[in-house]
Structures are given as C-alpha cells and as structure tokens.
Structure 1
C-alpha cells in the first residue's frame, strides 16, 4: 500500500502508537490517533502530536473515523474491539506496528520520525529478522541472542516487544546486519506478512486467553512466527505443542526443524552433555559429531543456573548458529549476558534465607519454572490472573513449598488451588492492596522461612491491580527486603 496521502487511523496512544503515528506522518499519510482514555497524560501527548499535524481523538476508541484507508494498531487492542468490527465491515485492513515495519523494510522512504521529507528519501533497513516468541522466556532469550550476535561481530539490536519499537530501528540511520526480534502473541496476530530468517517458539502455555478467546487461537498466533522461515524453525523438545506448530508451518524449501533439549541432543538438536551446551544441528556429519558451545556455568546468574535459562540459552544459540555465528561467539555472548531486573534477581540474604525477585513471572508457566530452580520456597504469589487457573502449577510445585503469602485481586484462586493440592502448606492471605503492603508481605514470608530457604516473589499473575507494572512490584519487594536486612 502506498501510504502517502492515505487516511490512516492509529489505535492507541502508548509508546507503540506514538512511534507508528510519527512514522506514518513522516511518510505523508494523514494520521488520526484514537484512544479511549482522556486523562491528563493522554491530553499532554495529544497536544504534542497535534503540534506535529497529527489529529488525535480521545475518549472514543470504538468509532472508525470516516474515510479510513488503513488501521495501524497497538498490540494490546483486542481483535473483538468495536473499532476492528467496523473496519471489517468497511473492508479496511488492520496492521500492527510490526507489520508496518516489515512492509517498510528495504523500501525507499522519507526521513520519517516526524521530520519533513526535504532532502530526498532514503532506504529503510533490510536486516534479517531472527524472531523469538513463546509464553515465557522471550525477553531473556532475545537479549542472549543479541549478546551472541554482537560477540560474533554483527551489528544488531534487541527490538520489538522488548521495549524498543521495531519501527524506530527499521527506520533508523544506523545500518544493522540482523535484528533479534521479540514478538508477543498480540504482535504476531497483527503481523501476517512477517517472514523471518529463522524463528523460535520457546513454549506454549495458557496465557492471555481473555484476549485470544481460546488456547487454540493463542497457539495459532504464536505459530505465525514460523511462517515463511528460510533457514530454521527452532522448537522445544519438552513442549510438543511447539513441534506441532513447526509441522503446520509453510516455510521455504530447505528450512529445517531444529530442537533444543535439556538432555542429550539427537541429530538436528542442541542440548546438554556433562555440563556442556552442545550443537548437533549445525555441524558436519551431525549424526556422529557434536560441537561444544559453552559450559552451563557460563550462563549462571548470580550463582543460580535455572533450568529454564539453560533452555533459553540453547534457543538463542540455535538461532545464532542458524545465522552462521561461530561456536566461540556463542560462548562469549552468553558469558557477557546480564539479565534485566526482576528476573530471578537475588536481592539479599537475611538470616540464612535468600530473597529473590522474579516479579517478571506474570503467568503460571513462568512461576513454575522459577519455583523449579529452588528446593525449599516461601512463595509470594497473586495479582491479576488473566483467566488462568493454578491447580497444575500448585500440584507440580507443592513439594517445594515451605509456605505461601498471597496478595492481590485474584489471590483466592491460588488459595483454593493450595487447599486442593497442598493442604499442609501454611498460607498467609493478605487483604491489603495498597502499594505499601509489600512490607507486610516480606514480614509474613520471613516468619514462614527457615535458614536455607528461598523467599521467592514469582506471582504467576499480572501486577496492575496493585502496581503500575511488574517492575514497580519488584522494586517494592526489593525495598522491603533491604529494609529487613538493614533493620535486623
């Protein structure tokens, strides 16, 4: 679609919407941004955009502006939103910002970013995309992948759902060889044309079912990552659903299915042998040979080598090897990798008890992986369940639980699962929902813990009932732990 002169509606006034609106305006489109909010923050943002010639309509995100030729949506907007129902009735296409970025790759575009087109056009970046998706582990894997690619001497960036809008990178003045792209199920839903060099689906577990409507729809959107892959579809041998998605994908001729496993790898897999990460996929005579990549200890985080982070490292290594990165760069990149905050971050040790912040564990699958890294745990859990159930998580983790401290709007769901599957585990149910409640949470956890235990914030829920985001929740936990440490 030629965008210059077109009427484009941008759905959402957040980071993604702002990026898309300014890019589209820079390409000559007539842009209207719609958002259901009408608070002070939205009004300030609207004023700034209107000064740039971009129309903004606040307080009404449901009505399709007259004459709209295209909608570019922020990823969180549900497919069932009235705006999209109206678009379907009017035969108006809907793209996500990822779809827009993909279509602009390698195209002659104006110097977008909201500036004028004076001085002529230029060519958007056409770097290859290595895509990572899955229910959990996406951000860590993408960051590991970017670290490996950099160690291999490639110009790269970690982009997408990780926080940097992909449009900003595709249209930046800096040329890239390859991009490490994290895509959520939301983004994949609105990006039907993306065709990656290679992609990995790390795992599939119930999440965001209130958005997708069903587990089948959620998995199908994740599976879009494999469509059109050129070199490798990387899947998790421990999660048959990911392999099924590979089987159902329409890929380029010669593209291979590459598995990763925490056990000994078969041919066309990466795995672990005697404390080493090894490659039996991208080596000569893979039926007989294997290539050492690094030691498991090379990916240790603050002394903890969690199984799910070994899996993440294997997936990142598989994508890098698919792109031709040498084994030494895999080792060097994983050694250099440092995780973001709130991902299995040890805050302090107080009276022989470790306090660990994994606030990023916002669903049951992530919490299960986090709990599996420790032998005896006082578990801090709760928040917004997003339609999840907790029976399987509790049943699998019951033997590790010394106690549980429950917080947030949907804590009763976890309490019921604990009563059914771990009735012997002592539970503290905190009714407080103010942001200062974390001090009481940590005090309650301290009372349940014994020397050698781990107090683990792995909520299995979203945070927005009590905190602005999972980061603020983790910060509150860390602050309460440090206060405990200082006052002992």
Structure 2
C-alpha cells in the first residue's frame, strides 16, 4: 500500500487543501459519487475511473458531468496522467493495476474513510468504530440506539450505507458517531485513530481480495490502531484479542472483552439472564454493574403475545459489544437498557416472520456465509433449516456437524445445494433432507411448504442459507421477502 504522505498543504482547520490539485477517484458505486462531489467542493480537479460501463454507471456519470468532473467508464486500470492523489472506493483489490501505477508514480492512495478522517474539523465528533466478519451492521445500529437513548446526537454511518464523506462534509453536527468499517475500508485508512474500536469476530471471508487470512485479519486489526479509550474484543474469539495485543494504542487505552459467559474484570458478559459490566465500574476486581436483561434486546419490536424465541447468542454478543463501546464513551446503564429495547433489527437478520400451527418462522436471509449461518443455527434447540445458493467456495462440514443434533430436517435450494447435501449425508445421515432441483425464485414457496411438513409444534423453520442469493434472486433482501411471502401463504397462517 502506498504511504499516505504529506503531499497537500493544510488549510486553517488543519485539513488538506485540495485547491487546484488533480485527484482521481477509483470507482463509482455508493461512495464514489459523494467522494467526487466533496472533492469538487474543495476545489480539486476530479477524474473518476470506473471499470464498469453499465446503465447505473452512466447515470452516475451524468450526475457528475455538470460539475466538470471527468468520468472514464470501462477503464479502471489506467491512472490518469498528472494524478496527485488516488482515492479508492471499497472493493477495488490492492492488486488492481491502477494501484501499481500509482506506486510507480509515487502517487499516494487513500480510501474514502481515510479522506473523511483527514477532512473532519477540529471540533469533529469522535468515532466509535465496529468491524468484524459478521454482525457489524447490527452492532452499529444497536450502538446508535444506545447513544440516542443517552440523549446524544449521533448517526450510524460508514459501511452501513451512509458515506462518511457526506457526514464529514455535511452541516449537521454530532456528538459522537457509530461507524461501521469493512476490511476494504480499513486497508486504505492508515491515519485512522478512533475513540474506541471493536472487532466482533474473525472468520475466512474476502480472502480473494486480501490474499490470505493473515492479511485479512491485519486489516481488521487496523481499527485498534491509535485507540484512545478502549479496544473491544471478543473473548470467545482469541484472534480478536491477538489483534489488540498487536495494536499501537494511546497511553491509558484499555483492552475490554465481551463474553457470553460470566465476565471477568475488564469484561462485559452475562449472568443469570443479565448483561453485566465489569469493565467501566469502580474497582472492577470486585464490583459489577447491571446494564440490561437479555430479554430487553429488541423488546420493543416484538409482537405482543407472540411466541418469539429469546435473542440468538450472536445478537447477545452484538449487544455486549455495542454496550462496551457506549460505556467507553461514558453512557449510563439506563441508556444502555433503553437503547437495546428500542433497537429494531434490520430486515432479514434473525427476523421473526410469524407462527403457524405452533411452528415459528425466522428469516435470516442475510446469513450469506457459513459463519453467519452457524451463529443463527445455534440459536434454536429444534429446527428445520432452509439452505443453499451460491457457495462462493465455502465448505459446509463445520456448520452441519455443529447443527446436526438439533436439526429436524433440511430443505435445500440453489445452484450449490449439492455441497451441503454431501456434508449432511456424511455428518448427519439421520436428518431428513428435501433436495429441490430448482433455481427459480418460485422454489422458495415450495421450500417453505416442505419445511412446514418436516416441522413439529415448538420447532423453528429457519432461512439461513449460508450462501449468496444471486443464483435465484437479485439479492438477499428479495430472497428474504420471498420467504416471508411464502410463510404468509401457508394454510392457517
């Protein structure tokens, strides 16, 4: 990665002065447009390069044209002549030719997060940052709900869909920000130094981008660099604690663990159904503070009287991580409880769909990899699992072996369902399997009917595909909607 370098003079607020400088933005997507517009406002001469030349890209280029921004579609490899800074959007692999060209020319490379970090003003809101393989968005939304309950002006931003550059350049003022960061964004953000950061978990993901598991973990660990108050780690995932040990933090910054078990000193955990803080209390060797009950998590979003299962273990872990970051900022226990009660899960993330004939139906279409699916499956004592789609090179032995004792049956859909079927045949031969030889969207209705036949009263039918959706659906949202529609179409629903 090219070093950031002090290539720009600073303005009166200490931010880089882009007046008249030639800046190239790599990629359009969600963040490329906002980045290009921000740089234009700051006086830069902006060129955008984009590998794709589809209808969406052409529409985005048309929006930038009135600003005088040059957009090169279908050419993401060539570094425009005269470029003084390359700003990349998430997703562009470090091995892309444009970065090699930048390195050869001595042109620094910043990510969109690096740019936003450098542009924030002297009175900017501190960042509470979250990364990890799974659970980032849920944790950031929980954190924002807690901060809001504490009366703080806040927003959930970053990889969650609200570009940080828009927040930094906007007129709205915040007290503190809940920031989701992907490994892609962290890779290109060498100057980032947050108030407190958390790595929720680590599992193999995006290895084609990072090149290795070690490189992926190292990029996640960047969220700890320079932390001011707390490095929050998952005590059940030693790799996250290893990243804390390797980080260079500010003096006085503490390591704070979260655990599903009884917490030790400097940890948050669970005791008899209560979320307990032994980190942000006086005399943490002896004292503890109750923050909330486990049943408080998303309590306000549950249908009254519905037979909704208790929060899944990974949701409890997310709540503990969010509470840890909030407590690092000084939030009182009452606000933690209220924020967790107010939190409403995003669609397709362990979402309660309904109950039919004593069987509960849960949509976790967002579980697009085996790590996420395993966490979801672990939440239910007896279940029928609907799985399958595009495996993206994944293997399924571990998730099947862990879930096998609790599986009432499995319904398989999608292009790579044979991979899951093979694991089931070897590791769970006692489990009934319905293999639907279909990859059309209508297969979901048949899958739900088949699952209903396998389920017994008290069971949960869980859509946690462990695969991507694009073989059958536009995205995981459409897949989850199809599941919910099929549940509502069941007799007696």
User: Which TM bucket (shorter chain)?
Assistant: over 0.9
Q: Which residue of the partner structure matches residue 43 of structure 2? A: 28
Match of 1:184 among 182, 185, 201: 182
Deviation, structure 1 residue 104: 0.4
Q: How does 1:80-119 map to 2 (within 5 A)?
A: 80-106=95-121
In the alignment, the residues of structure 2 paired with residue 407 and residue 8 of structure 1 have an alpha-carbon distance, to the nearest angstrom, of: 46
Q: Please list the CA deviations of residues 402-424 of structure 1 after superposition, one character each: whole Å capped at 9, or x if unmatched.
A: 22222233323222222221122
In the alignment, the residues of structure 2 paired with residue 197 and residue 376 of structure 1 have an alpha-carbon distance, to the nearest angstrom, of: 42
In the alignment, the residues of structure 2 paired with residue 380 and residue 11 of structure 1 have an alpha-carbon distance, to the nearest angstrom, of: 39
8 Å CA contact 1:11, 1:17 repeated in 2: yes
Match of 2:444 among 438, 450, 462: 438
Is 1:38 aligned to residue 58 of structure 2?
A: no
Secondary structure at the aligned position of 1:10 is classed as: strand
Match of 2:71 among 56, 65, 75: 56
Over 3 Å counting, the alpha-carbon distance change for 1:412 and 1:94 in structure 2 is farther
Q: Which residue of the partner structure matches residue 124 of structure 2? A: 126
Q: Which residue of the partner structure matches residue 481 of structure 1? A: 487
8 Å CA contact 2:298, 2:343 repeated in 1: no
8 Å CA contact 1:208, 1:387 repeated in 2: no
In the alignment, the residues of structure 2 paired with residue 447 and residue 85 of structure 1 have an alpha-carbon distance, to the nearest angstrom, of: 56
Deviation, structure 1 residue 173: 0.6
8 Å CA contact 1:210, 1:387 repeated in 2: no
In the alignment, the residues of structure 1 paired with residue 423 and residue 98 of structure 2 have an alpha-carbon distance, to the nearest angstrom, of: 38
Match of 1:399 among 405, 412, 428: 405
In the alignment, the residues of structure 2 paired with residue 288 and residue 36 of structure 1 have an alpha-carbon distance, to the nearest angstrom, of: 58
In the alignment, the residues of structure 1 paired with residue 419 and residue 87 of structure 2 have an alpha-carbon distance, to the nearest angstrom, of: 37
Q: Which residue of the partner structure matches residue 3 of structure 2? A: none
TM value normalised by structure 2: 0.92
Secondary structure at the aligned position of 1:8 is classed as: strand
Q: Please list the CA deviations of residues 402-455 of structure 1 after superposition, one character each: whole Å capped at 9, or x if unmatched.
A: 222222333232222222211222223333222333222222322322222211
8 Å CA contact 2:298, 2:345 repeated in 1: no
Q: How does 1:310-459 map to 2 (within 5 A)?
A: 310-459=316-465
Q: Which residue of the partner structure matches residue 305 of structure 2? A: none
In the alignment, the residues of structure 2 paired with residue 382 and residue 77 of structure 1 have an alpha-carbon distance, to the nearest angstrom, of: 28
Deviation, structure 1 residue 135: 1.0
Is 1:230 aligned to residue 236 of structure 2?
A: no
Gaps of 5+ in 2: 1-7, 9-16, 303-307
Q: Please list the CA deviations of residues 431-482 of structure 1 after superposition, one character each: whole Å capped at 9, or x if unmatched.
A: 3222333222222322322222211111112223332222121112111221
Is 1:167 aligned to residue 182 of structure 2?
A: no
In the alignment, the residues of structure 1 paired with residue 203 and residue 260 of structure 2 have an alpha-carbon distance, to the nearest angstrom, of: 19
Q: Which residue of the partner structure matches residue 121 of structure 1? A: none
Task: Identify the range of structure 1 (16-25 vs 465-474) with the bigger mean alpha-carbon deviation.
Answer: 465-474
Q: Which residue of the partner structure matches residue 216 of structure 2? A: 218
In the alignment, the residues of structure 1 paired with residue 433 and residue 49 of structure 2 have an alpha-carbon distance, to the nearest angstrom, of: 45
Secondary structure at the aligned position of 1:86 is classed as: helix
Q: Which residue of the partner structure matches residue 277 of structure 2? A: 279
Secondary structure at the aligned position of 2:362 is classed as: strand
8 Å CA contact 2:404, 2:428 repeated in 1: yes
Q: Which residue of the partner structure matches residue 29 of structure 2? A: 14
Secondary structure at the aligned position of 2:190 is classed as: coil
Gaps of 5+ in 1: 108-124
Q: Which residue of the partner structure matches residue 110 of structure 1? A: none
In the alignment, the residues of structure 2 paired with residue 387 and residue 210 of structure 1 have an alpha-carbon distance, to the nearest angstrom, of: 10
Over 3 Å counting, the alpha-carbon distance change for 1:88 and 1:410 in structure 2 is farther
Match of 2:154 among 153, 156, 160: 156
Q: Which residue of the partner structure matches residue 295 of structure 2? A: 297
Over 3 Å counting, the alpha-carbon distance change for 1:276 and 1:418 in structure 2 is same
CA RMSD of aligned residues (A): 1.6
8 Å CA contact 2:298, 2:340 repeated in 1: no
Q: Please list the CA deviations of residues 19-68 of structure 1 after superposition, one character each: whole Å capped at 9, or x if unmatched.
A: 11111111111111122222222222211211221111111212222222
Q: Which residue of the partner structure matches residue 118 of structure 1? A: none
Match of 2:241 among 240, 243, 247: 243
In the alignment, the residues of structure 1 paired with residue 215 and residue 287 of structure 2 have an alpha-carbon distance, to the nearest angstrom, of: 39
Match of 1:256 among 254, 257, 265: 254
Secondary structure at the aligned position of 2:179 is classed as: strand
Deviation, structure 1 residue 134: 0.8
In the alignment, the residues of structure 2 paired with residue 483 and residue 35 of structure 1 have an alpha-carbon distance, to the nearest angstrom, of: 43
In the alignment, the residues of structure 1 paired with residue 92 and residue 282 of structure 2 have an alpha-carbon distance, to the nearest angstrom, of: 46
Deviation, structure 1 residue 300: 4.8
8 Å CA contact 2:129, 2:178 repeated in 1: yes
TM value normalised by structure 1: 0.93
